[in-house]
Structure 1
Amino acid sequence: MPHPRLFLLALGFYTRLPVPQAVDYKRLPEAAVYLPLVGWLVGGLSALSFYLADWLWPQQTAAIVALVAGILVTGAFHEDGFADVCDGFGAGFDKQRILEIMKDPRTGTYGMLGLLLLLSLKISVLGTLPAVAVPSLLLAGHSFSRLQPLLVMRRYDYARIDDSKAGAAVFKPGGIDLLFAASLALVPLLLLPAVCWLAILPVLAANWLLGRYFYRRIGGYTGDCLGASQQLAETIFYLSMSTLWTFI
């Protein structure tokens, strides 16, 4: 069951914002249910950064400033996972090698190219959408994309479990957990036109395909896989919104 103290855990782990020290880190895996709420905060700060920067510079520059703000708040937590997944699945040919590469702290060619292309897509889309809508899109994108790792956790098992301590840290969200997280993730969409809710469908479909891909290659997911699912979901959300905006 979700508990308010878990939000402080999520805030301390998924961002670089200070939190009280008296928190129970043994419950850290459960704190993932608050990821969409963390997305409110990260998305809100990104939206504010865009709004202020758009007064001073061209819209594409404001989009870059918004991305920088989000990266600074999170410490590039999810971007790092995405880069590791690009390296691991790009250069690895079997489960063991993929997992070994993803544990390597160095970023390889696949990871660098993946991040470059991902950020370029975000900047391109956010820089061409109506500026007045971008802050709301950032808030919704950061929140809804952070529901996707929970869906992967629900469907699949943690891939690194052998005889390690990792098994004790794995959390599989229950129905109530997912309902709670989904309600948090969907609230920011109320700020957007009704047609924008259709953007949920390609995000969910892409996340389902990504989860299946992880399962086929390594038998489940890792923390890096969850970061990649968030980053891809956020990007697909913006791309979908760009398409839907032609009907608004």
Structure 2
Amino acid sequence: MSFLRNYLLALQFFTRIPVTGRLAAWVGYSPQMLRASAAHFPGVGWMVGALVTVLQLALFMGLPVGGYSPLVVAALGTAFGILLTGAFHEDGLADVADGLGGSYQRERSLEIMKDSRVGAFGAIAIAMVLLTKVALVAELAFLGPVVLAAVPFLAHVVSRTWPLLTIRLLPHVGDTAQSKSKPLAEQITRQALQVATVWCVLAFALVAAVLGLGPVMLRTLGGALLASALGFAWMHRLFARRLQGFTGDCLGAIQQVCELAFYLGFLLAWGARA
């Protein structure tokens, strides 16, 4: 029961999927529960990825073949994903871009990141990420419905696993008293990381079974995973060097970058095998 409660609390915190009324009362809340729910961040990726995949497949099957249909599928799927999460991660990316782009001084960067207004760096970052995401998902749609279903689903799960390593390895440097991520300020436990890893491994196994377990496809998925890992390593090093830690916004930025890197890595590996 605690596993299910923590998972539902993660859905409640990281998405706009309604967990309300009697269900919310049954789930309950405490800072300790929210901290434990971080282990289910990849599980949230299962839910968001599955719902986005269902919509994209429905559009793919319903729209005329060819033309701009892949772009329509990608654009509406991306918009639906933003709706499901309330732009939670995109908002973090914008704040990080404004903070790190607006100043090279650590304290000033953290101060800018707390400002709810979006500056030039944040607007540019959001525009480029959304443009790139739509283009990459459209390219996946050109490869067929199976790839369109499997790869975005796995990208949502994997990209929500990497931020947990940052929580584990770096200190929280935000305004802890005011931050929504206050319960995440303490290092995530090894057991929570194990739970998150299980979520991720199960998703990888499911997608590998759907796409085929041949060595070529496994190498392609491996390329996607490697690219996502490189995206994480770059972001993690950036936060360690510039901020000497992380904030809640940093976790959202990591998710966005790692999701894009996963798509790009898969497509590069697919092109290499061709």
Interval of TM-score (by shorter of Structure 1 and Structure 2): over 0.9
Structural mapping, 1:201-212, within 5 Å: 201-212=226-237
Runs of 4+ with deviation above 3 angstroms: 164-168
Paired residue for 2:195, among 180, 192, 203? 180
Counterparts of 1:168 and 1:114, CA distance in 2: 25
Structure 2 counterpart of 1:114 = 125
2:76 counterpart of 1:86: no
SS in 2 for 1:3: helix
8 Å CA contact retained: 2:171, 2:186: no
Shift of 1:203: 1.5
Give the whole-Å Cα distance in 1 for the aligned partners of 2:259 and 2:16.
Answer: 20
Return the index of the structure with the highest Cα Rg.
Answer: 2
**Structure 1 residues 114, 165: CA separation in 2 closer, same or farther (over 3 Å shift)?**
closer
The one-letter amino acid paired with 1:97 is: R
Query: Which residue pairs with 2:34 in the alignment?
Result: 28
- 1:131 corresponds to which of 106, 121, 144: 144
Residue 237 of structure 1, aligned match among 216, 241, 262: 262
Written as runs of structure 1 = structure 2, the 5 A alignment for 1:1-248 is 3-19=3-19, 20-22=23-25, 23-26=28-31, 27-54=33-60, 55-56=62-63, 58-129=69-140, 130-132=143-145, 133-160=147-174, 164=177, 169=183, 170-190=185-205, 191-192=207-208, 193-195=217-219, 196-246=221-271, 247=273
User: Does the CA contact (< 8 Å) of 1:144 and 1:186 recur in 2?
Assistant: no
Equivalent AA in structure 2 for residue 172 of structure 1: Q
SS at structure 1 position matched to 2:234? helix
Matched to 2:47, the amino acid is L
Instruction: Report how far residue 174 of structure 1 moved.
Output: 2.2
Structure 1, 106-115 or 19-28: larger mean CA deviation? 19-28
- State the aligned residue count: 246
> Which ranges of structure 1 fall in alignment gaps of 5 or more residues?
none
**Identity across aligned pairs (percent)?**
33
TM-score (norm 1): 0.93
Question: How far is the alpha carbon of 1:175 from its aligned partner?
Answer: 2.1
| Cα-Cα RMSD | 1.8
- Alignment deviations for residues 25-70 of structure 1 (CA, whole Å, 9 cap, x no partner): 3221221110101001100111111111112250111011110111
**Residue deviations 1:177-204 (CA, integer Å, cap 9, x gap):** 2121012023222223322133212212
Please give the TM-score of this superposition, normalised by the length of structure 2: 0.84
After TM superposition, the structure 1 stretch with the greater mean CA deviation from structure 2, 233-242 or 52-61, is 52-61
Take 2:201 and 2:117, find their aligned partners in 1: how far apart are those partners?
A: 36
